[in-house]
Amino acid sequence: QKEVEQDPGPLSVPEGAIVSLNCTYSNSAFQYFMWYRQYSRKGPELLMYTYSSGNKEDGRFTAQVDKSSKYISLFIRDSQPSDSATYLCAMRPLGGSEKLVFGKGTKLTVNP
Amino acid sequence: ETGVTQSPTHLIKTRGQQVTLRCSSQSGHNTVSWYQQALGQGPQFIFQYYREEENGRGNFPPRFSGLQFPNYSSELNVNALELDDSALYLCASSSDSYGYTFGSGTRLTVV
């Protein structure tokens, strides 16, 4: 079993839709949870960062962490064509080498 | 802040050759990590350097090696290249535990 599983999609939605992206994980030591956005031919860009369980909101983006279920989500409200990219979940334990473990990524296309 | 810059952007090498990839960390960042991203996959951790010392290594063979310099720039060296080494190589720097800034990567093709 992989440490982090991410439904690879791809996902295609109309402009203005609410998008839900999800990851599950198996390592209960993970404490830091991140979502990255990666445009084609670019490096990943940090979108959201959460520590432990709970919700965090930043504009149109909301990140949720449920440690009891080992499940994290990213919601995008009022999606825009500029949101079209690959979204990667990443996580790491407290301490150690700060190695990030990534999901496979979900490619999102928002159609005008 | 100038961000993380990587060079070269693209590279084609022959199987068995050696390659060096370079990374200039974001100003003030003393930790640098390297990741390999195969097509359609998430990045895989290769290793991390903190103040010029290796501070963790992923499941990569010893022919993957690295250096971090006093100015916190870094190199990734790969010896005896194999076809499966073809990937996007990403450098990421950070100054604390809060997030990492990634460069745009070097696309390596091994033929």
Tens digits of residue pLDDT in B63-109: 999 999 988 899 999 999 999 999 999 999 987 656 788 999 999 99
Q: Band of the pLDDT at B27, cuts 50, 70, 90?
A: confident
Residue B55 to residue A103, Cβ atoms within 8 A: no
B66 touches chain A (CB under 8 A): no
**Which of the 8 DSSP states describes residue A3?**
S
Residue A39: per-residue pLDDT = 95
Q: What is the mean pLDDT of residues A56-66?
A: 95
Give the nearest chain A residue to B38 (CA atoms): A104
Sign of CA dihedral B27, B6, A103, A1: negative
pLDDT at residue A71 is higher than 70: yes
Place of tokens 């290793």: B47
- Residue B37 and residue A103: Cα distance in Å, rounded? 11
- Residue B58 and residue B45: Cα distance in Å, rounded? 5
Q: Band of the pLDDT at B51, cuts 50, 70, 90?
A: confident
Mean pLDDT score of chain B:
92
- Identify whether the C-beta of residue A7 lies closer than 8 Å to the C-beta of residue A108: no
Q: Per CB distance under 8 Å, which residues of A are interface residues toward B?
A: 4, 6, 8, 32, 34, 36, 41-46, 49, 88, 90, 96-105
- Identify whether the C-beta of residue A98 lies closer than 8 Å to the C-beta of residue B33: yes
- Residue A60 and residue A17: Cα distance in Å, rounded? 11
- Interface with A, mutate which of B94, B100, B106 (most A CBs under 10 A): B100
Q: How many residue pairs from chains A and B have C-beta atoms closer than 8 A?
A: 63
- Residue B49 and residue B57: Cα distance in Å, rounded? 9
Pairing mode, strands B5-7 and A101-102: unpaired
Which of A34, A97, A103 is opposite residue B99, by nearest beta carbon? Answer: A34
- Comparing C-alpha atoms, which of B103, B62, B33, B101 is closest to residue A96? B33
Residue A93: per-residue pLDDT = 85
- Residue A104 and residue B44: Cα distance in Å, rounded? 10
- Comparing C-alpha atoms, which of A80, A42, A74 is closest to residue A61? A74
pLDDT tens digits, residue range A92-107? Answer: 887 766 789 999 999 9
Which of A34, A43, A104 is opposite residue B104, by nearest beta carbon? Answer: A43
Residue A43 to residue B100, Cβ atoms within 8 A: no
Amino acid identity for residue B106 in this structure = T
Residue B2: per-residue pLDDT = 63
What number of H helices and E strands is found in chain B? 0, 11
B56 touches chain A (CB under 8 A): yes
pLDDT at residue A44 is higher than 70: yes
